[in-house]
Amino acid sequence: MTSPTQYFLCSGDSEGFTTLNAFDAALLKAGVGNTNLVRMSSILPPGIVRIEPVPLVPGCFLPIAYSCIQSSTPQVMIAAAVAVAVPKDPSLPGVIMEYSALGTAGDAEKSARSMAREALQIRGWVVGEILSATVEHQVETIGAAFAGVALIGEAQHG
């Protein structure tokens, strides 16, 4: 199997007629809505390069680690975050952590970043950098918040 060569962070939030419609609209806002998400566990291949989000081939399979939350409680604040911890040693893999909860984007980001830092520390690796993406959404009727780390290769670019 080949490893992806690039990754990007993304996030989106939305309202919808149902929780699934809200989730779908949040994916569209994040730029990954017209792909087939393949949810993966949380390891970033060594040497992978971070890029800005790019247009993706519609219908492609997209390996992605993500957090999401939906709610139908009006006025509640929901938040989703992902954090990537990249080791100082580029020959080692990175770690992705996901977090979602009722609350603010700031609180979600803090939790995800803390978990990512700890994941490298328990491996005995020195943290090079921690990157994160987060979003919050105040529910009107039915809302969703989504944050992800998408791993791609050249064939997935649109």
Catalytic residues: 36, 41-42, 98
Closest to 50 measured CA to CA, from 133, 124, 135, 116: 133
CB 47 within 8 A of CB 69: no
